[in-house]
Structure 1
Amino acid sequence: MVNEQAVTGVSYTQGNALETAQPKLTPVYLCDFLTGFLGTFGAMVALARRAKEGGSYRVQVSLCQSAMLIQRQGLLEQFKPAPGHLSQAEFESYAVYDNNTSYGDLKSLGPVIRMSETPPEWSRTTPALGSDKAEWLLR
């Protein structure tokens, strides 16, 4: 998160937007989230193409290129009253708590889309970095 925001100028842009005298990190994992969304979209397009035309397709995504895509979009003026901004009460209604982890009690924004038949959940708490053996879990 930090490296991609720094090397692509996102931290500089965030600092300017906040009118600070120094670069600042965005309050979300901007590069990680966007790269995940773009990779998922690419996989969906590839699967649709395979279903129609056959063949196999490669999807490549890049944390830095995702940040540069955002940089090329420019900034919105007067963003604070923009639609979609969550109030503290709205955030709390979607908050997910993960207590007693190796990092202490954690709170994050959970899924904003809820499905009646497949509710989102974690099968276990947040592990300490490096505590799990690298392996594929087949189900």
Structure 2
Amino acid sequence: MDFGSTWSRIDVEILEATCTTMDGAVPTTSSSPLLGVLRLKGRAYRLQREGGREDEPCAWAQADYVMTQEEASTITSVFLLFWGDMLDQPTFLVLRPASADSQKFERLGIIRFSKGDRERNWEKILAHCRMEDNIVVV
């Protein structure tokens, strides 16, 4: 995202960003694999899947990677973090719990809403969001 652009607005605050190699060293161009942690403060909302009910999609979604149907069926809740506006579209990061610690998450992808989507479904989600000040994305 272009932080200085007129077509994007960042809503989250980045509190900490760290990156190390698997053995704890400072990364270089030749070192890998890497471990990264991003600690954020922003408006978020937890969604729970109830009884296998599937609602009709209401927005454009982009997954970060492909999952098998079996992997996807194990996801029972996601955490939506309002990132801001990208290309003048309200954008949420889609996160899932990375561990038993409820504040550590793995990014699954993003959801972007068009300004006119279904009577502004994104505004309804945002109205239910609450400020979270220690969201850790690993």
With the shorter chain as reference, the TM-score category is under 0.3
Where is the strand percentage greater, Structure 1 or Structure 2?
2
* Larger CA Rg, structure 1 vs 2: 1
Give the alignment's TM-score, normalised by structure 2. 0.25
Higher relative contact order structure (alpha carbons within 8 Å, sequence separation ≥ 6) = 2
What TM-score comes out, normalization by structure 1 length?
Answer: 0.25
